[in-house]
Structure 1
Amino acid sequence: MRWTIPNILTVLRLFAAPGVAIMFLFFARPWADWFALILFIVAAVTDWFDGYIAREWNQESRFGAMLDPIADKAMVVIALLVITGFSGMNPWILLPATVILFREVFVSGLREFLGATSSTLAVTRLAKWKTTAQMVSIAVLFSAGVFEHHFAERVHGMDVALVKAILSGEVADDLNLAQLLWAEQITFLVGTILLWVAALLTAMTGWDYFTKARPYLKDRPS
């Protein structure tokens, strides 16, 4: 193994994956949401940079090829667990997250079973699109958590009737509650739609890999 810049970035991204969840153990929200969002975005950006640098600087390696998809999957899986938890097991989040988690486990199992022939399941362009869709949707959903808890902080201790009056325009909105609520609703809606798109792409790539692996799954005649 060579400690090239792409490999270092990949290792850092792998360690950043559990860091997203750890933010919610050591910090109160919305700071935990902010730190998790920033950490996730930085890690996701390194996913593009390490591949680009490896190609341009001719630093591609077997170690990087092995660890890169593991780091991506760890980031997505852990982030989805966190988002599913703070969404209150919302079915609109839970269902696409389940599809994504099932596919990742299924394809990993296929690759392990195929062993030396696992190159049959080389990463496709569609698989890269699904990874991008997953990461963008997760980042948007984390931002929804940021807006949600900034709103909750500002209305803490307020009477429900006063909050309704502010949102309806009857009382001056000096705390920008309407903007925060609108931002939270829009980001949650957009993030959820993108997550369903990611789940669809994920299912398509899973079926594609299964189709390619089928010839190797047949029992040999006795």
Structure 2
Amino acid sequence: MARRHDDMQASFTPSGFTPSWVDARARAMFQSLAMVHAPSLTTRSRLIWNLPNLLTYGRVLAVPAVTALLFWHTENWMRWLALAIFAAAAITDYFDGYLARAWQQQSTLGRMLDPIADKLLVAATLLMLVHAGTIQSWSIWAAIVILCREILVSGLREFLAELRVSVPVTALAKWKTTVQLVAIGFLIAGPAGEVVLPGTVSIGLWLLWIAAGLTIYTGWDYMQAGMKHVIDDAPFGDGGGSSP
């Protein structure tokens, strides 16, 4: 009975709480499993906190900073600071993807956050520029076109992702993004920029209209590419579901 009692006692091992009656082979298996799972957690942490993702996080954090400076701007330096933050965020839009590919640090989190960060930055800044009166009158329609296109393409991409269909970004779409960011940069400078470069706001508005035109063209391309899959894959008469 004493021996049986000793066999039923439990002991602590490096792999955790293990009964003493479990043989050495089982304990070795538990230890090997613990060693296998430890690196996976480390790898996951590295994927979350790698430099490309940190740049994307910074772009998300730039959104409230830029919007706050434009909302409460009372001095020219606030416009310049907003422009500096916006420009830095726009530059990271290129480097996060480039570094992720160059360093083999692509992650699902990064692929999800990257387009979200871009759209948050553009949409929030355009809304604040309308609020500040920098974008007004007919030019508001250019901002509306850009915002509607972003929502449309995002919804289309989400739907196509369920079908495992990817729509590649065209060269013209990249030019659209560049013109759009430059236009917003001029408009952020706004009245402060007029002191240094007269016509800053006018340049920004003209570029915004050009970006809106490119937005319509590239948006139509995306719609043509996406609707083919929507029509081919959707059952006839399906009314679809309601959004959550």
Q: Deviations over 1:46-71 (max 9, x none)?
A: 11221221222222222212211111
Q: In the superposition, relative to structure 1, how do residues 25 and 195 fare at CA in structure 2: closer, same or farther (>3 Å)?
A: closer
Detail structure 1 runs of 4+ shifted over 4 Å in the superposition: none
Residue in structure 1 matched with residue 203 of structure 2 by the alignment: 190
Where do 1:89-100 residues align within 5 Å? 90-100=136-146
Choose from 162, 166, 173 the match for 1:120.
166
Higher helix fraction: Structure 1 or Structure 2?
A: 1
Judge conservation of contact 1:120–1:213 (CA < 8 Å) in 2. no
Unmatched 5+ residue regions in structure 1?
149-179
RMSD between aligned residues: 2.1
Residue in structure 2 matched with residue 220 of structure 1 by the alignment: 235
Aligned-residue sequence identity (percent) comes to 43
**2-structure distance, mates of 1:191, 1:85:** 16
Q: In the superposition, relative to structure 1, how do residues 57 and 213 fare at CA in structure 2: closer, same or farther (>3 Å)?
A: same
Structure with the bigger RCO (C-alpha within 8 Å, sep 6+) is 1
Counterpart of 2:106 in 1: which secondary structure? coil
How far did 1:31 drift? Answer: 2.8
Residue in structure 2 matched with residue 144 of structure 1 by the alignment: 190
Where do 1:35-184 residues align within 5 Å? 35-87=81-133, 90-117=136-163, 119-147=165-193, 180=195, 183-184=197-198
**2-structure distance, mates of 1:112, 1:57:** 27
How far did 1:91 drift? Answer: 2.4
Aligned residue identity for 1:58: Q
Q: In the superposition, relative to structure 1, how do residues 84 and 103 fare at CA in structure 2: closer, same or farther (>3 Å)?
A: same
**2-structure distance, mates of 1:88, 1:59:** 40
**2-structure distance, mates of 1:75, 1:10:** 11
Q: In the superposition, relative to structure 1, how do residues 114 and 207 fare at CA in structure 2: closer, same or farther (>3 Å)?
A: same
**1-structure distance, mates of 2:164, 2:74:** 43
Give yes or no for the alignment of 1:201 onto 2:183.
no
Unmatched 5+ residue regions in structure 2?
1-43, 238-244
Q: Deviations over 1:1-43 (max 9, x none)?
A: 5121011101110111122111235552323212211110111
**2-structure distance, mates of 1:62, 1:38:** 29
Q: Deviations over 1:156-209 (max 9, x none)?
A: xxxxxxxxxxxxxxxxxxxxxxxx3x824x111111111111111111121111
Q: In the superposition, relative to structure 1, how do residues 53 and 107 fare at CA in structure 2: closer, same or farther (>3 Å)?
A: same
Judge conservation of contact 1:87–1:93 (CA < 8 Å) in 2. no
**1-structure distance, mates of 2:156, 2:84:** 33
Larger radius of gyration: 2
Q: In the superposition, relative to structure 1, how do residues 117 and 146 fare at CA in structure 2: closer, same or farther (>3 Å)?
A: farther
**1-structure distance, mates of 2:169, 2:157:** 11
Give TM-score scaled by structure 2 length.
0.70
